[in-house]
Amino acid sequence: MKKMFCLLAIIVTFSEGIMNAQQPKGNILPYPIYQHKLPNGLNVVTVPYDSPGLAAFYVVMRVGSRDEIEVGKTGFAHFFEHMMFRGTEKYPKEKYSDALKATGASANANTSLDRTLYHMTGNAAMLDKMFELESDRFMNLKYSEQDFKTEAGAVKGEYTKNSASPYEQLDEKMNDVAFTSHTYQHTTMGFFKDVVDMPNQYVYSQEFFKRFYKPEYATIIVVGDVTPEAINALAAKYFGVWQKGDFASKIPVEPIQTETRYTHVQVPNFPPVVSLNYKAPAYKNNDVEMPALDLLNSILFSEKSDLYNKLVVAEQKARSINGGATNSRDPYLSQISASLVNAKDMQYVKDQIVAAIEKSKTTPVDAKVLADAKSRLRYSFAMGIDSPTSIAEALSSYVWVTGDPESINNEYVMYDNVTAQDIMNVAKKYYVNTGLTVATISGDASCPVK
Protein backbone atom coordinates (compact mmCIF):
# COMPACT_ATOMS: atom_id res chain seq x y z
CA MET A 1 0.00 0.00 0.00
CA LYS A 2 2.75 2.43 0.63
CA LYS A 3 6.35 3.27 1.30
CA MET A 4 9.69 2.65 -0.35
CA PHE A 5 12.92 2.26 1.56
CA CYS A 6 16.74 2.33 1.11
CA LEU A 7 19.85 0.76 2.61
CA LEU A 8 22.30 3.45 1.55
CA ALA A 9 22.89 6.58 3.62
CA ILE A 10 25.05 9.64 3.05
CA ILE A 11 25.26 13.25 4.04
CA VAL A 12 22.43 15.10 2.29
CA THR A 13 22.42 18.80 1.59
CA PHE A 14 19.55 21.08 0.97
CA SER A 15 19.31 24.66 -0.17
CA GLU A 16 16.90 27.47 0.44
CA GLY A 17 17.68 29.80 -2.43
CA ILE A 18 20.91 27.80 -3.10
CA MET A 19 22.14 28.22 0.46
CA ASN A 20 23.70 24.88 1.31
CA ALA A 21 23.62 23.43 4.80
CA GLN A 22 25.14 20.13 5.84
CA GLN A 23 22.64 17.57 7.11
CA PRO A 24 23.26 14.90 9.75
CA LYS A 25 24.65 11.55 8.71
CA GLY A 26 22.21 8.69 8.42
CA ASN A 27 19.82 10.03 5.76
CA ILE A 28 18.07 7.30 3.82
CA LEU A 29 18.08 8.94 0.39
CA PRO A 30 21.61 8.72 -1.07
CA TYR A 31 21.30 11.89 -3.13
CA PRO A 32 21.29 15.59 -2.24
CA ILE A 33 17.90 17.29 -1.99
CA TYR A 34 17.87 20.99 -2.86
CA GLN A 35 14.86 23.15 -1.99
CA HIS A 36 14.11 26.69 -3.10
CA LYS A 37 10.89 28.56 -2.40
CA LEU A 38 9.76 31.29 -4.77
CA PRO A 39 8.20 34.48 -3.33
CA ASN A 40 4.74 33.27 -4.44
CA GLY A 41 5.03 30.16 -2.25
CA LEU A 42 5.92 27.61 -4.95
CA ASN A 43 8.46 25.09 -3.64
CA VAL A 44 11.10 23.90 -6.09
CA VAL A 45 12.89 20.62 -5.32
CA THR A 46 15.91 19.45 -7.30
CA VAL A 47 17.76 16.15 -6.98
CA PRO A 48 20.81 15.74 -9.24
CA TYR A 49 21.09 12.10 -10.32
CA ASP A 50 23.46 10.34 -12.72
CA SER A 51 21.08 9.80 -15.65
CA PRO A 52 22.79 11.43 -18.65
CA GLY A 53 20.29 13.34 -20.77
CA LEU A 54 17.27 12.24 -18.72
CA ALA A 55 15.12 14.04 -16.14
CA ALA A 56 11.81 13.48 -14.35
CA PHE A 57 9.58 16.54 -13.95
CA TYR A 58 6.82 16.26 -11.32
CA VAL A 59 4.28 18.79 -10.11
CA VAL A 60 2.64 17.84 -6.80
CA MET A 61 -0.61 19.71 -6.10
CA ARG A 62 -1.61 19.28 -2.47
CA VAL A 63 -5.29 19.06 -3.35
CA GLY A 64 -7.20 15.80 -3.43
CA SER A 65 -10.60 14.38 -2.56
CA ARG A 66 -9.91 15.52 1.03
CA ASP A 67 -10.48 19.11 -0.11
CA GLU A 68 -13.94 18.51 -1.60
CA ILE A 69 -15.79 20.10 1.28
CA GLU A 70 -19.11 21.20 -0.24
CA VAL A 71 -22.06 18.82 -0.24
CA GLY A 72 -22.79 17.64 -3.78
CA LYS A 73 -19.37 18.65 -5.10
CA THR A 74 -17.23 15.52 -4.77
CA GLY A 75 -14.91 14.20 -7.46
CA PHE A 76 -13.54 17.55 -8.64
CA ALA A 77 -9.90 16.98 -7.73
CA HIS A 78 -9.94 13.89 -9.95
CA PHE A 79 -11.94 15.79 -12.57
CA PHE A 80 -9.17 18.38 -12.88
CA GLU A 81 -6.64 15.64 -13.45
CA HIS A 82 -8.60 15.19 -16.70
CA MET A 83 -9.25 18.85 -17.47
CA MET A 84 -5.59 19.84 -17.16
CA PHE A 85 -5.00 18.11 -20.50
CA ARG A 86 -7.66 20.21 -22.27
CA GLY A 87 -5.22 22.97 -23.18
CA THR A 88 -4.92 26.76 -23.13
CA GLU A 89 -5.18 29.57 -25.66
CA LYS A 90 -1.45 29.34 -26.36
CA TYR A 91 -1.29 25.57 -26.39
CA PRO A 92 -4.65 24.00 -27.26
CA LYS A 93 -4.96 20.27 -26.62
CA GLU A 94 -3.40 19.01 -29.88
CA LYS A 95 -0.69 21.65 -29.94
CA TYR A 96 0.22 20.83 -26.34
CA SER A 97 0.45 17.14 -27.21
CA ASP A 98 2.66 17.82 -30.25
CA ALA A 99 4.96 20.17 -28.30
CA LEU A 100 5.30 17.63 -25.51
CA LYS A 101 6.18 14.85 -27.92
CA ALA A 102 8.94 17.04 -29.31
CA THR A 103 10.57 17.01 -25.86
CA GLY A 104 10.66 13.21 -25.86
CA ALA A 105 8.29 13.08 -22.90
CA SER A 106 4.71 12.00 -22.32
CA ALA A 107 2.62 13.52 -19.55
CA ASN A 108 0.33 11.71 -17.16
CA ALA A 109 -1.41 12.32 -13.85
CA ASN A 110 -3.23 10.64 -10.98
CA THR A 111 -5.32 11.71 -8.00
CA SER A 112 -5.62 10.44 -4.44
CA LEU A 113 -6.96 11.47 -1.04
CA ASP A 114 -4.54 14.32 -0.43
CA ARG A 115 -3.01 15.27 -3.78
CA THR A 116 -3.10 15.40 -7.54
CA LEU A 117 0.17 14.44 -9.20
CA TYR A 118 1.32 15.50 -12.68
CA HIS A 119 4.45 13.91 -14.09
CA MET A 120 6.63 13.36 -17.12
CA THR A 121 10.11 12.00 -17.80
CA GLY A 122 12.05 13.08 -20.86
CA ASN A 123 15.05 14.79 -22.41
CA ALA A 124 16.80 16.91 -19.77
CA ALA A 125 17.95 19.30 -22.50
CA MET A 126 14.27 20.08 -23.20
CA LEU A 127 13.35 21.09 -19.65
CA ASP A 128 12.94 24.72 -20.75
CA LYS A 129 10.06 23.65 -23.01
CA MET A 130 8.61 21.35 -20.33
CA PHE A 131 8.57 24.25 -17.86
CA GLU A 132 6.93 26.50 -20.45
CA LEU A 133 4.21 23.97 -21.26
CA GLU A 134 3.45 23.15 -17.63
CA SER A 135 3.45 26.73 -16.38
CA ASP A 136 1.06 27.71 -19.16
CA ARG A 137 -1.55 25.12 -18.30
CA PHE A 138 -1.23 25.54 -14.55
CA MET A 139 -1.80 29.28 -14.85
CA ASN A 140 -3.92 29.58 -17.99
CA LEU A 141 -6.09 26.47 -18.27
CA LYS A 142 -9.09 27.29 -20.44
CA TYR A 143 -12.01 25.14 -21.43
CA SER A 144 -15.48 25.70 -22.82
CA GLU A 145 -18.68 24.51 -21.20
CA GLN A 146 -18.95 21.89 -23.92
CA ASP A 147 -15.40 20.67 -23.20
CA PHE A 148 -16.34 20.51 -19.53
CA LYS A 149 -19.45 18.43 -20.21
CA THR A 150 -17.53 16.11 -22.51
CA GLU A 151 -14.91 15.45 -19.85
CA ALA A 152 -17.58 15.07 -17.17
CA GLY A 153 -19.07 12.33 -19.31
CA ALA A 154 -15.67 10.65 -19.54
CA VAL A 155 -15.34 10.79 -15.75
CA LYS A 156 -18.75 9.17 -15.37
CA GLY A 157 -17.64 6.44 -17.77
CA GLU A 158 -14.49 5.89 -15.70
CA TYR A 159 -16.58 5.65 -12.53
CA THR A 160 -18.91 3.11 -14.16
CA LYS A 161 -15.98 1.04 -15.40
CA ASN A 162 -14.24 1.06 -12.01
CA SER A 163 -17.42 0.25 -10.10
CA ALA A 164 -17.74 -3.01 -12.00
CA SER A 165 -14.95 -4.29 -9.75
CA PRO A 166 -16.18 -5.77 -6.46
CA TYR A 167 -13.02 -4.45 -4.82
CA GLU A 168 -13.87 -0.90 -5.89
CA GLN A 169 -17.44 -1.36 -4.66
CA LEU A 170 -16.19 -2.57 -1.30
CA ASP A 171 -13.71 0.29 -0.97
CA GLU A 172 -16.41 2.86 -1.69
CA LYS A 173 -18.84 1.35 0.81
CA MET A 174 -16.14 0.88 3.43
CA ASN A 175 -15.09 4.55 3.34
CA ASP A 176 -18.71 5.67 3.46
CA VAL A 177 -19.27 3.59 6.60
CA ALA A 178 -15.93 4.20 8.30
CA PHE A 179 -16.27 8.01 8.10
CA THR A 180 -19.32 10.06 8.95
CA SER A 181 -18.05 13.66 8.73
CA HIS A 182 -14.55 13.86 7.28
CA THR A 183 -14.16 14.12 3.50
CA TYR A 184 -12.30 10.80 3.48
CA GLN A 185 -15.85 9.42 3.53
CA HIS A 186 -15.89 9.53 -0.27
CA THR A 187 -13.33 7.98 -2.56
CA THR A 188 -11.24 9.91 -5.08
CA MET A 189 -13.89 9.34 -7.74
CA GLY A 190 -16.55 10.97 -5.56
CA PHE A 191 -20.10 9.96 -4.77
CA PHE A 192 -21.95 8.61 -7.80
CA LYS A 193 -24.80 11.12 -7.48
CA ASP A 194 -22.24 13.94 -7.66
CA VAL A 195 -20.52 12.41 -10.68
CA VAL A 196 -23.90 12.20 -12.44
CA ASP A 197 -24.57 15.86 -11.65
CA MET A 198 -21.07 17.02 -12.63
CA PRO A 199 -22.07 18.22 -16.14
CA ASN A 200 -24.21 20.86 -14.41
CA GLN A 201 -21.28 22.22 -12.37
CA TYR A 202 -19.36 24.23 -15.00
CA VAL A 203 -19.32 27.43 -12.94
CA TYR A 204 -18.25 25.60 -9.78
CA SER A 205 -15.45 23.87 -11.68
CA GLN A 206 -13.92 27.25 -12.49
CA GLU A 207 -14.16 28.21 -8.82
CA PHE A 208 -12.40 24.98 -7.80
CA PHE A 209 -9.54 25.72 -10.19
CA LYS A 210 -9.19 29.29 -8.87
CA ARG A 211 -9.09 28.03 -5.29
CA PHE A 212 -6.53 25.27 -5.53
CA TYR A 213 -4.39 25.66 -8.62
CA LYS A 214 -2.21 28.22 -6.93
CA PRO A 215 1.55 28.19 -6.20
CA GLU A 216 1.21 27.74 -2.44
CA TYR A 217 -0.43 24.35 -3.12
CA ALA A 218 2.31 23.28 -5.53
CA THR A 219 5.74 21.67 -5.37
CA ILE A 220 7.88 21.09 -8.45
CA ILE A 221 10.24 18.12 -8.24
CA VAL A 222 12.95 17.64 -10.87
CA VAL A 223 15.29 14.64 -10.66
CA GLY A 224 18.02 13.64 -13.07
CA ASP A 225 20.71 15.25 -15.21
CA VAL A 226 20.14 18.72 -13.75
CA THR A 227 21.55 21.35 -11.41
CA PRO A 228 19.55 23.24 -8.77
CA GLU A 229 20.75 26.58 -10.17
CA ALA A 230 19.31 25.80 -13.61
CA ILE A 231 16.04 24.42 -12.27
CA ASN A 232 15.49 27.37 -9.92
CA ALA A 233 16.11 29.75 -12.80
CA LEU A 234 13.55 27.94 -14.97
CA ALA A 235 11.02 27.93 -12.14
CA ALA A 236 11.44 31.67 -11.62
CA LYS A 237 11.22 32.33 -15.36
CA TYR A 238 8.05 30.37 -16.00
CA PHE A 239 6.26 30.09 -12.65
CA GLY A 240 7.40 33.28 -10.92
CA VAL A 241 4.40 35.28 -12.15
CA TRP A 242 1.90 32.68 -10.88
CA GLN A 243 -0.35 34.62 -8.51
CA LYS A 244 -0.70 33.34 -4.96
CA GLY A 245 -4.19 32.56 -3.69
CA ASP A 246 -5.87 32.94 -0.30
CA PHE A 247 -8.13 29.89 0.02
CA ALA A 248 -7.70 27.22 2.70
CA SER A 249 -9.96 24.19 3.03
CA LYS A 250 -11.86 23.82 6.31
CA ILE A 251 -11.85 20.05 6.61
CA PRO A 252 -14.52 18.58 8.93
CA VAL A 253 -13.14 16.76 11.96
CA GLU A 254 -14.17 13.10 12.14
CA PRO A 255 -15.87 12.22 15.47
CA ILE A 256 -14.26 9.47 17.51
CA GLN A 257 -15.67 6.10 16.48
CA THR A 258 -17.28 4.22 19.37
CA GLU A 259 -18.36 0.89 17.88
CA THR A 260 -17.44 -1.74 15.32
CA ARG A 261 -19.06 -1.04 11.96
CA TYR A 262 -19.85 -3.44 9.13
CA THR A 263 -20.37 -3.26 5.40
CA HIS A 264 -20.78 -5.95 2.78
CA VAL A 265 -20.86 -6.49 -0.98
CA GLN A 266 -22.72 -9.52 -2.28
CA VAL A 267 -21.01 -11.04 -5.32
CA PRO A 268 -21.72 -14.67 -6.20
CA ASN A 269 -18.87 -16.76 -7.62
CA PHE A 270 -16.19 -14.28 -6.61
CA PRO A 271 -13.24 -14.93 -4.26
CA PRO A 272 -14.44 -14.04 -0.74
CA VAL A 273 -12.71 -11.16 1.02
CA VAL A 274 -12.57 -10.02 4.62
CA SER A 275 -11.03 -6.63 5.37
CA LEU A 276 -10.41 -5.14 8.82
CA ASN A 277 -10.09 -1.36 8.66
CA TYR A 278 -8.86 0.34 11.85
CA LYS A 279 -8.68 4.08 12.38
CA ALA A 280 -5.04 5.16 12.14
CA PRO A 281 -3.15 8.40 12.83
CA ALA A 282 -2.34 11.18 10.41
CA TYR A 283 1.21 11.20 9.11
CA LYS A 284 3.47 13.45 11.18
CA ASN A 285 7.12 14.28 10.80
CA ASN A 286 9.34 12.90 13.56
CA ASP A 287 6.49 10.87 15.06
CA VAL A 288 7.08 7.20 15.79
CA GLU A 289 3.46 6.01 15.52
CA MET A 290 3.19 5.53 11.76
CA PRO A 291 6.60 3.85 11.43
CA ALA A 292 5.66 1.58 14.32
CA LEU A 293 2.38 0.67 12.60
CA ASP A 294 4.25 -0.07 9.38
CA LEU A 295 6.59 -2.44 11.17
CA LEU A 296 3.74 -4.05 13.08
CA ASN A 297 1.86 -4.71 9.84
CA SER A 298 4.97 -6.09 8.18
CA ILE A 299 5.69 -8.42 11.09
CA LEU A 300 2.09 -9.66 11.38
CA PHE A 301 0.91 -9.80 7.77
CA SER A 302 3.80 -10.04 5.31
CA GLU A 303 4.71 -13.27 3.54
CA LYS A 304 7.37 -13.75 6.23
CA SER A 305 4.78 -13.73 9.03
CA ASP A 306 3.58 -16.65 11.12
CA LEU A 307 -0.03 -15.81 10.22
CA TYR A 308 0.69 -15.93 6.48
CA ASN A 309 2.44 -19.27 6.84
CA LYS A 310 -0.50 -20.63 8.80
CA LEU A 311 -3.45 -19.34 6.77
CA VAL A 312 -1.96 -19.31 3.28
CA VAL A 313 0.78 -21.95 3.24
CA ALA A 314 -0.16 -24.58 5.82
CA GLU A 315 -3.97 -24.46 6.05
CA GLN A 316 -4.59 -22.98 2.59
CA LYS A 317 -7.68 -21.17 3.80
CA ALA A 318 -6.52 -17.85 2.38
CA ARG A 319 -5.14 -17.00 -1.05
CA SER A 320 -3.37 -13.95 0.33
CA ILE A 321 -3.16 -11.73 3.36
CA ASN A 322 -1.69 -8.26 3.66
CA GLY A 323 -1.82 -5.21 5.84
CA GLY A 324 -0.74 -1.60 5.71
CA ALA A 325 -1.50 1.91 6.87
CA THR A 326 -1.86 4.77 4.39
CA ASN A 327 0.16 7.95 4.84
CA SER A 328 -2.43 10.72 4.98
CA ARG A 329 -2.72 14.35 6.08
CA ASP A 330 -5.57 13.55 8.48
CA PRO A 331 -6.32 10.35 10.40
CA TYR A 332 -7.26 7.62 7.96
CA LEU A 333 -7.06 3.80 8.11
CA SER A 334 -4.80 0.84 8.63
CA GLN A 335 -6.21 -2.01 6.57
CA ILE A 336 -5.72 -5.77 6.86
CA SER A 337 -7.26 -7.83 4.07
CA ALA A 338 -7.45 -11.51 3.27
CA SER A 339 -8.67 -13.16 0.08
CA LEU A 340 -10.15 -16.54 0.97
CA VAL A 341 -10.54 -19.87 -0.75
CA ASN A 342 -13.94 -20.54 0.79
CA ALA A 343 -16.43 -18.13 2.36
CA LYS A 344 -17.23 -20.62 5.13
CA ASP A 345 -13.78 -19.89 6.60
CA MET A 346 -14.32 -16.14 6.82
CA GLN A 347 -15.11 -16.00 10.53
CA TYR A 348 -12.16 -18.27 11.29
CA VAL A 349 -9.74 -16.15 9.27
CA LYS A 350 -11.03 -12.93 10.85
CA ASP A 351 -10.64 -14.46 14.32
CA GLN A 352 -7.07 -15.54 13.52
CA ILE A 353 -6.17 -12.01 12.39
CA VAL A 354 -7.67 -10.52 15.54
CA ALA A 355 -5.88 -13.09 17.71
CA ALA A 356 -2.53 -12.15 16.15
CA ILE A 357 -3.26 -8.48 16.79
CA GLU A 358 -4.26 -9.11 20.40
CA LYS A 359 -1.08 -11.08 21.01
CA SER A 360 0.99 -8.18 19.63
CA LYS A 361 -0.45 -5.90 22.32
CA THR A 362 1.11 -7.83 25.18
CA THR A 363 3.99 -9.82 23.67
CA PRO A 364 7.10 -7.83 22.71
CA VAL A 365 8.40 -8.46 19.22
CA ASP A 366 11.56 -10.57 19.19
CA ALA A 367 14.61 -8.36 18.67
CA LYS A 368 15.78 -10.29 15.60
CA VAL A 369 12.30 -10.27 14.06
CA LEU A 370 12.13 -6.51 14.49
CA ALA A 371 15.61 -6.01 13.06
CA ASP A 372 14.77 -8.22 10.07
CA ALA A 373 11.57 -6.28 9.42
CA LYS A 374 13.48 -2.99 9.40
CA SER A 375 16.04 -4.47 7.00
CA ARG A 376 13.32 -5.70 4.62
CA LEU A 377 11.82 -2.22 4.46
CA ARG A 378 15.22 -0.70 3.72
CA TYR A 379 16.10 -3.25 1.07
CA SER A 380 12.76 -2.79 -0.68
CA PHE A 381 13.49 0.93 -0.95
CA ALA A 382 17.00 0.28 -2.27
CA MET A 383 15.53 -1.90 -5.01
CA GLY A 384 13.14 0.86 -6.01
CA ILE A 385 15.24 4.01 -6.47
CA ASP A 386 17.01 3.20 -9.71
CA SER A 387 15.75 5.98 -12.01
CA PRO A 388 14.79 9.68 -11.98
CA THR A 389 11.13 8.68 -12.09
CA SER A 390 11.28 6.34 -9.10
CA ILE A 391 13.15 8.92 -7.01
CA ALA A 392 10.70 11.69 -7.92
CA GLU A 393 7.82 9.34 -7.12
CA ALA A 394 9.28 8.52 -3.70
CA LEU A 395 9.83 12.19 -2.84
CA SER A 396 6.36 13.19 -4.02
CA SER A 397 4.74 10.73 -1.61
CA TYR A 398 6.23 12.68 1.30
CA VAL A 399 5.63 16.12 -0.19
CA TRP A 400 1.88 15.60 -0.29
CA VAL A 401 1.58 14.65 3.39
CA THR A 402 4.02 17.16 4.91
CA GLY A 403 4.99 19.56 2.14
CA ASP A 404 8.65 18.72 2.75
CA PRO A 405 10.61 16.10 0.75
CA GLU A 406 13.12 15.83 3.62
CA SER A 407 10.39 13.91 5.44
CA ILE A 408 11.67 10.82 3.64
CA ASN A 409 14.90 11.08 5.64
CA ASN A 410 13.11 11.91 8.88
CA GLU A 411 10.89 8.86 8.57
CA TYR A 412 13.76 6.45 8.26
CA VAL A 413 15.36 7.85 11.35
CA MET A 414 12.08 7.03 13.08
CA TYR A 415 12.08 3.48 11.67
CA ASP A 416 15.51 2.94 13.17
CA ASN A 417 14.23 4.22 16.53
CA VAL A 418 11.10 2.03 16.74
CA THR A 419 11.19 -0.30 19.73
CA ALA A 420 9.19 -3.38 20.68
CA GLN A 421 7.36 -1.22 23.21
CA ASP A 422 6.40 1.29 20.48
CA ILE A 423 4.86 -1.53 18.49
CA MET A 424 2.83 -2.74 21.45
CA ASN A 425 1.73 0.85 22.12
CA VAL A 426 0.33 1.45 18.63
CA ALA A 427 -1.38 -1.94 18.58
CA LYS A 428 -3.15 -1.11 21.85
CA LYS A 429 -4.02 2.40 20.75
CA TYR A 430 -5.28 1.84 17.20
CA TYR A 431 -6.19 -1.81 16.75
CA VAL A 432 -9.34 -1.64 18.88
CA ASN A 433 -12.88 -2.79 18.18
CA THR A 434 -14.28 0.71 18.68
CA GLY A 435 -12.18 1.95 15.76
CA LEU A 436 -12.85 -0.98 13.43
CA THR A 437 -14.87 -1.20 10.22
CA VAL A 438 -15.27 -4.75 8.87
CA ALA A 439 -15.79 -4.99 5.10
CA THR A 440 -16.56 -8.25 3.32
CA ILE A 441 -17.26 -9.73 -0.11
CA SER A 442 -19.09 -13.03 -0.52
CA GLY A 443 -22.15 -14.60 -2.07
CA ASP A 444 -24.07 -14.02 1.16
CA ALA A 445 -26.81 -11.40 1.33
CA SER A 446 -25.26 -9.78 4.39
CA CYS A 447 -21.94 -9.60 6.20
CA PRO A 448 -21.13 -13.20 7.22
CA VAL A 449 -18.83 -12.35 10.14
CA LYS A 450 -19.33 -10.75 13.51
CB-facing half-sphere around the CA of 262: CA atoms within 13 A: 9
Identify whether residues 267 and 383 lie together within a single domain: yes
Q: How many residues does the chain have?
A: 450
Tell me the pLDDT tens digit for each residue of 269-309. Answer: 999 999 999 999 999 988 999 999 999 999 999 999 999 99
Identify whether residues 306 and 419 lie together within a single domain: yes
Domain residues for the domain of 45 are 33-239
| pLDDT attached to residue 19 | 31
| pLDDT attached to residue 378 | 84
Identify whether residues 324 and 429 lie together within a single domain: yes
Does residue 28 lie in a domain region?
no
Does residue 11 lie in a domain region?
no
Tell me the pLDDT tens digit for each residue of 69-95. Answer: 999 999 999 999 999 999 999 999 999
Domains in the chain, number: 2
Task: Using CB atoms within 10 Å of the CB of residue 253, give its burial: 0 to 12 exposed, 13 to 18 middle, 19+ buried.
Answer: exposed
| pLDDT attached to residue 380 | 86
Identify whether residues 116 and 156 lie together within a single domain: yes
Query: Contact at 8 Å (CB) between 387 and 122?
Result: no
Mean pLDDT of all residues in the chain?
92
Is residue 29 predicted with pLDDT exceeding 50? yes
| pLDDT attached to residue 9 | 30
Is residue 5 predicted with pLDDT exceeding 70? no
Residue 445: φ, ψ to 5°: -75, -25
Question: Mean pLDDT throughout 113-128?
Answer: 97
| pLDDT attached to residue 14 | 31
Order of strands across the sheet that contains 333-340: 261-266, 436-442, 273-279, 333-340, 318-325
Closest CA to 380 of 1, 49, 56: 1
Query: Contact at 8 Å (CB) between 270 and 407?
Result: no
Is residue 21 predicted with pLDDT exceeding 80? no
Identify whether residues 124 and 178 lie together within a single domain: yes
CATH code, 344: 3.30.830.10
Does residue 26 lie in a domain region?
no
Quote the percentage of the chain above a pLDDT of 70.
Answer: 94
| pLDDT attached to residue 23 | 39
Does residue 270 lie in a domain region?
yes
Does residue 338 lie in a domain region?
yes
Query: Contact at 8 Å (CB) between 237 and 131?
Result: yes
